[in-house]
A and B are shown apart, each in its own frame.
Chain A
Amino acid sequence: MSLFDWFANRQKSGPATPEGQEREIADGLWTKCEACGALTYTKDLRSNQMVCLECDHHMRVYSDQRISQLIDANTWVAIDENLHPVDPLKFRDRKSYSDRIRETQEKTRLTDAVQTGIGQIESLPLALGVMDFRFMGGSMGSVVGEKLTRLIERATQQHIPVVIVCASGGARMQEGMLSLMQMAKISGALERHQSHRLLYIPVLTHPTTGGVTASFAMLGDIILAEPKATIGFAGRRVVEQTLREKLPEDFQTSEYLLQHGFVDAIVPRTQLKRSLAQLIRLHQPAAPSSHLVSSFPAIKALSKTALD
């Protein structure tokens, strides 16, 4: 076949090639970056933790991937996987909540919008919660509230730090006020954890909004965020309606929050594990005071002089 023929054939079977390309993308061989449009071999993208190799855009990662990105191999022990959402209000909008739960569970193979467990990060033990945006927009209902509360309580008992990777549209409306109250419940568990002088670090990823922002996402001793994530309390459209004017381009981004003092650091995903490990290591309980005194003989001598 001549090159001409090849072209002729190609034109005849016109849509075949783009379709084929689409299929390859769909099959997951190649992934297109939604920010810069670059096509990347999915395997390469995955080994770069779903951060675009061309433009550094942080694509969405789901809870399983996130856990394996952060936790040392063979150290993850999932907890409370047997908690399932129910439909206490018999809520029905255009679809019933029970149907929505069932369909989402089948589609995502998740029980609800958060995975929790105990694991190690560079050999340091921690309690980790990872929200999953696929499950009804990462919304927080009774199961998310209960799982995170149990996780924090367990961390308090075991004297270990808590890290929660946030990705949520806020409280789950289908569970009404039960959802709103989870904000208080989790915050109460964090109060106990904090009063034991234990470290809590939320990691804010795209998007972190509503009731999650107005509770555990903003209660970190140290708050980290992924680059260019949307983080805010009220939705952008609601704010626009309130103001009736255009908002700045970077409104409610990680960078905006950093600038206004609500985030400690923006950490690229590829450095997240190392940064978390570093922070946890730096906040390890201090060595006994006797050890401290003996290691600073100069201070001891000085205070003696002062007493004299």
Chain B
Amino acid sequence: MAHSPDRRPILLDFEKPLAELESRIIQIRELAEENEVDVSGEIRQLEERALQLRQEIFSSLSPLQRMQVARHPRRPSTLDYIQAICDEWMELHGDRGGHDDPAVVGGVASINGRAVLMLGQQKGRDTKDNITRNFGMASPGGYRKAMRLMEHADRFHMPILTFIDTPGAYPGMSAEELGQGEAIAYNLREMFRLDVPIICTVVGEGGSGGALGIGVGDRLLMFEHSVYTVATPEACAAILWKDSAKANQAAEALKITAADLKNLGILDEILAEPIGGAHSDPLKAAETLKEAILRNLAELDQLTNQQRRELRYQKFRSIGVFAETTV
């Protein structure tokens, strides 16, 4: 995929014991080869141990560790998935209001021979690209481009697939001046109006309103190690704990993981990731995504436009927890 295989892996803190074990295996193998000793049995044992360790680590990640995986620089982002799951793809540009936001990509595509519209936030693949893409933080023009493309899809009866991967909407002065709030709000309302099926997937980081701005659909899917937050744990800690170093506690308290969100009734489906996270085997992650999209699309095809819109409304209508006392 997008990442050239010669690049050295980027390790997260909690992956270090695993990396040590793996480099030990390589050392032993080299030593054995030099001295012509057969250690294949031992190596197999160590490799099994490494796999086990990897499974253990990734099955018990804390919310903040999961966030690190979700923000991993090598984690596949929107364009990686689009390239992996489409038979055809043509990117389209511009909000027709004077802007083309590189933090949002979108275009017409074909998946299993079917025409669809795909769009999502795009993080950069390196520092330079990240600056161009504004780290996946969309400006009002990005949300307006997304809406323009979704309206296009609706006119041509193309299902809409959105991919969410953003730390949040861009909090800059230009964004405020161009109506960041209005741009997101408009999408929230108009996505309820669209007749075509909409499937939204949190592929990486789901940052607050900036994520929701392309996140109103018939289905919300989320990768196992993705996170979706009302506010970043760092910001939440700064506001509620008056101490941004309490991000770990905030991440726990905010319930940002896929499993938590499934429990809260916000999420429809969790997509399993390869052991070690989507970045360790992007093609396998893409396969999982494609299967889930096609299956959900087939279900949504069974409904009329009106039924889909009604169910979409009810899906969001039912979110919320409160007490109602009898008067």
Contacts and interface: CB of A to CB of B under 8 A. Distances in A.
A76 interface: no
Contact of A89 (B215, B255, B326, B327): B255
B185 A181 contact: no
B182 A218 contact: yes
A252 B175 CA distance: 11
Contact of B253 (A91, A171, A187, A252): A91
A192 interface: yes
Nearest to A81: B327
Interface residues of B, number: 59
B179 A262 contact: yes
Given A180-B208, A243-B172, A233 B181 contact: yes
A173 B253 CA distance: 10
Nearest to B184: A214
Given A188-B192, A215-B185, A243 B173 contact: yes
Nearest to B243: A94
Contacts of A233: 169, 171, 175-176, 180-181, 184, 209
A141 to B, nearest CB: 8
Nearest to A89: B255
B223 to A, nearest CB: 16
Given A176-B256, A215-B185, A182 B209 contact: no
B321 interface: yes
A167 to B, nearest CB: 15
**On chain A, which size bracket covers the interface?**
35 or more
Given A181-B266, A233-B180, A234-B171, A191 B192 contact: yes
Contacts of B185: 183, 187, 213-219
Interface in B169-218: 169-173, 175-182, 184-186, 188-190, 192-193, 208-209, 212-213, 215-216
B264 interface: yes
Nearest to B213: A214
A179 interface: yes
A83 B324 contact: yes
B161 to A, nearest CB: 18
A243 B181 CA distance: 18
Contacts, number: 195
B120 to A, nearest CB: 18
A176 B264 CA distance: 10
Contacts of B189: 187-188, 190-191, 194, 219
A178 B320 contact: yes
A187 B213 CA distance: 11
Contacts of B212: 180-181, 183-184
Contacts of B186: 218-219
Interface in A178-221: 178-185, 187-192, 194-195, 210-211, 213-219
A143 interface: yes
B222 to A, nearest CB: 11
A84 interface: yes
Given A86-B321, A91-B253, A214-B185, A177 B173 contact: no
A232 interface: yes
A251 B173 contact: yes
Contacts of B250: 93
B50 to A, nearest CB: 35
Interface in B224-277: 228-231, 235-236, 239-242, 249-250, 253-256, 261, 264, 266
A147 to B, nearest CB: 9
Contacts of B10: none
B323 interface: yes
A89 B256 CA distance: 11
B66 to A, nearest CB: 14
B16 interface: no
Contacts of B176: 232-234, 239, 251-252
B181 A177 contact: no
B168 to A, nearest CB: 9
Interface stretch (B79-87, B107-115, B311-319): B311-319
Interface in A60-77: none
Given A84-B325, A188-B189, A191-B193, A234 B180 contact: yes
Given A173-B231, A188-B189, 5 more contacts: A176-B256, A181-B212, A185-B317, A216-B185, A219-B189
Interface of A: 81-86, 88-89, 91-94, 142-143, 145-146, 149, 171, 173-185, 187-192, 194-195, 210-211, 213-219, 232-235, 238-239, 242-243, 247, 251-252, 260-262
Interface of B: 169-173, 175-182, 184-186, 188-190, 192-193, 208-209, 212-213, 215-216, 228-231, 235-236, 239-242, 249-250, 253-256, 261, 264, 266, 312-313, 316-317, 319-327
8 contacts: A176-B256, A177-B256, A187-B185, A195-B193, A214-B185, A217-B181, A219-B186, A243-B172
Instruction: In the A-B complex, list the 8 residue pairs whose CB atoms are closest, starting with the nearest.
Output: A234-B171, A213-B181, A142-B320, A187-B188, A93-B240, A88-B321, A233-B181, A218-B185
